[in-house]
Amino acid sequence: MKVGLIGLGNMGSGMALSAVRAGLSTIGFDPAIADRAALEAAGIVLADSVADVSAQAEVIVLSLPNSAIVEDVVLGADGLLHHAREGQIVLDTSTADPASTLRIAEALRDSPLRFVDGPVSGGPKAAHAGSMTMLLGGETADIHALQPVLDALTAKCVHVGPVGAGHSAKLFNNLLCGINLLAVGEAIRVARAAGLDIEKILQGVNAGSGRSGVTEVNCPTWILNGAFDSGFTMKLMRKDLGLAAEMIENSGAHAPLSQEALRLWKASAGQLGDAEDFNRIVEFVERQS
Ligand SMILES: NC(=O)c1ccc[n+]([C@@H]2O[C@H](COP(=O)([O-])OP(=O)(O)OC[C@H]3O[C@@H](n4cnc5c(N)ncnc54)[C@H](O)[C@@H]3O)[C@@H](O)[C@H]2O)c1
């Protein structure tokens, strides 16, 4: 199977390396590649355009910054739909707007191009290791056809529903992570004010029902040691939370806790720039008066 990667940034470059390591013939395209030599040395063919990738790959994995770019790459004048061949499947691993994903699926309905949304967790480290978690939205037959690529890129996949459901599930995941980071930041602030040993308190929490991905992974790996180098930026997290805010609004559901958390994340933009690590929201919480 020949796999194409469109978007070779922090995540896409790691995915391309994982694909090639798994024995998949891999071609990639990105107009602004950080390290061409490293990708070429690993055996990845670098194409000059989306059309070049489409001409050679059966499975085309997207890892792009936002839905507007995904729509352009798939539906634009020189996009994947324009060059589509029978049997091709697009796997969109970007964190994207579910409403846009549904628009794309509708536009592809009578085309030869199949579409699956598969946003990911685990960050650049897991993309490089081929150990990401992927939340899949799409037809079961299409997901089966993607199996060799899923095996190369992921340690765990969950098929959460029809096309668009993967992107919705990812927004719930990031919303819950965002709320949790604020809550843990507040707990750290209270524990510090009470003169407690934060590391010991977290050890206790992680042995109990208050534990979470944030307390078990983010705190020791990126927060308490001051590393703040997860590879996931404030810009990307704010994008995801903006999409979650739209999802809540479109649903019409009452969600006051989420809305307060979203307000705090938005307010953090005054103190934490786009390039900062998203875990720094904990420091923002600690500074609040
Ligand atoms: N970084 C993370 O930890 C992480 C984790 C999970 C999900 N994501 C999601 O994965 C996606 C990619 O994230 P990233 O951190 O790799 O971002 P990134 O900014 O490092 O990479 C995106 C790449 O897309 C390229 N690109 C832009 N327009 C393009 C086009 N028209 N054709 C081809 N390439 C194009 C850019 O040049 C860039 O290299 C985002 O949707 C993000 O939300 C990121």
Domains of the chain, each with CATH number or no CATH:
2-162 (3.40.50.720), 168-287 (1.10.1040.10)
Q: Is 232 in the pocket of ligand 1 (CB under 6 A)?
A: yes
CA of 255 to the centre of ligand 1 (A): 29
Give the nearest ligand 1 atom to 94 CA: 41
In ligand 1, which atom is closest to the CA atom of 119? 7
Specify the pLDDT at position 286.
87
Residue 155: per-residue pLDDT: 98
Query: What's residue 5's pLDDT?
Result: 98
Q: What pLDDT is stored for residue 148 in this prediction?
A: 98
Query: Parallel, antiparallel, or unpaired: how do β-strands 120-121 and 132-137 relate?
Result: antiparallel
Amino acid at 203: Q
Structure tokens given for 234 = 């404030």
**Do residues 278 and 234 touch, judged by C-beta distance below 8 A?**
yes
Q: What are the C-alpha distances in Å from 79 to residues 13, 60, 118, 230, 235?
A: 21, 12, 20, 32, 26
pLDDT tens, per residue, the chain with 289 residues: 899 999 999 999 999 999 999 999 999 999 999 999 999 999 999 999 999 999 999 999 999 999 999 999 999 999 999 999 999 999 999 999 999 999 999 999 999 999 999 999 999 999 999 999 999 999 999 999 999 999 999 999 999 999 999 999 999 999 999 999 999 999 999 999 999 999 999 999 999 999 999 999 999 999 999 999 998 999 999 999 999 999 999 999 999 999 999 999 999 999 999 999 999 999 999 888 7
- Whether residue 284 has its Cβ less than 6 Å from ligand 1: no
What pTM, to 2 d.p., does this model score?
0.93
Question: How long is the chain?
Answer: 289
Q: How far apart are the two ends of the chain, measured CA to CA in Å?
A: 56
If you measure from the C-alpha of residue 147 to the centroid of ligand 1, how many angstroms do you get, rounded to a whole number? 23
Quick one: which of 270, 256, 264, 258 has its CA closest to 282? 264
pLDDT for the residue 287: 85
The pLDDT of residue 120: 97
Which residue lies with its CA nearest to atom 1 of ligand 1? Answer: 232
Give the Å distances, CA to CA, from 45 to 7, 17, 40.
13, 11, 6
- Atom from ligand 1 closest to the CA of residue 66: 41
Cβ of residue 51 lying under 6 Å from some atom of ligand 1:
no
CA 138 – CA 118 distance, rounded (Å): 9
